Amino acid sequence: MSSKKVLVTGAAGFIGFHLSKKLLQENFQIVGFDNLNDYYEVSLKEARLSQLRAHSNFSFVKGDLQDRSLIEKTFEEFNFDFVVNLAAQAGVRYSIQNPYAYLESNIHGFLNILEACRHHKPAHLVYASSSSVYGANKQMPFSVHHNVDHPISLYAASKKSNELMAHTYSALYNIPTTGLRFFTVYGPWGRPDMASFLFLKAILEEKPIDVFNQGKMKRDFTFVDDIVEGIFKLIPTIPRANSDWNALRPDPANSFAPYKLYNIGNNQPVELLYFIEVLEKKIGKKAIKNFLPLQDGDVPETFADVDDLIRDVGFKPSTSIEVGLGKFVDWYFDYYKIKTKKADH
């Protein structure tokens, strides 16, 4: 496996960077693809990328997923064994204000990846979906075997669309595809629009933090290393057509085609107020809380059923919020060269 060539789109992004680093350490040949857009500070993306460029088995292509000719040229040049598509326009709330960005990147861009896979036949396409696809579902924990036809944000709808598009290409062209529904990922090198980042910065600057749903929101916060380990184990786990699939009682998680879906979550929801409390303890400083109602597009709770992940690859995310936030705080203080004394952790 270590000699295999892998395309990682979104390689300068949060999860893409961590996955690329892991694959490089395992001696895979990695081609990173990213447009380095300014959705958040480009310097953070460049800092991630500079770490990846230090590896001799890393190559980088700068461009947009929407650039069909560049995608085709990249696939033609490198002849990938595996493709991991993590590039996307992220953010539930941003999708309310900027809907077209999601159509261009998450739909058009993903179509270009699917078409390239159709013509160049990598062994497996793994792509990022999201826990947001569960939308209005109330049945807990969220299972890949549940129906997810009621999204409540365009971001969620774009991710559900990716799953449908992948299934179509699996069925028409026998392309093995695996969709990964990530649950609230956090950790070192995270995105500045994420709760851990926003809260920590505001607490240090003694500014109020917005606490939605009066703090009663629950999230299945998942440490980035656990997400990466799940992806790493699933890349060589190539889905096969399920000969027992029943069209009269269709299971959304698999198919008559080589298609699979998995949740990757911590399987242990944490209330937002406790999340903030842990952060406060890690830095030895109290937050100023601005309590607000639930925002449009947000769901009150997420909770991942990871039974399929455990069964198929023998792995379950398990990093506690206390350990994970401790590592995030350590990274943040180091990266931004903050001298303030932190609490012991």
Query: Percentage helix, strand, coil, to 5, in the chain?
Result: 40, 15, 40
- From CA 257, how far away is CA 177, in angstroms rounded? 9
CA-to-CA separations, 274 to 294, 321, 324, 344, in angstroms, rounded: 17, 9, 14, 18
Residue 141 contacts residue 288 (beta carbons within 8 Å): no
155 is catalytic: yes
State the DSSP H helix or E strand holding residue 18, giving kind and residue range, or none if neither: helix 14-25
Q: What is the CA radius of gyration of the chain?
A: 20
Name the active-site residue from 39, 134, 155, 259. Answer: 155
- The tokens 């601005």 sit on which residue? 290
Intra-chain end-to-end CA distance of the chain, in Å: 37
- The position carrying tokens 């109290």 is 286
User: Is the dihedral angle over the CA atoms 143, 113, 99, 88 positive or is it negative?
Assistant: positive
Active-site amino acid positions:
155
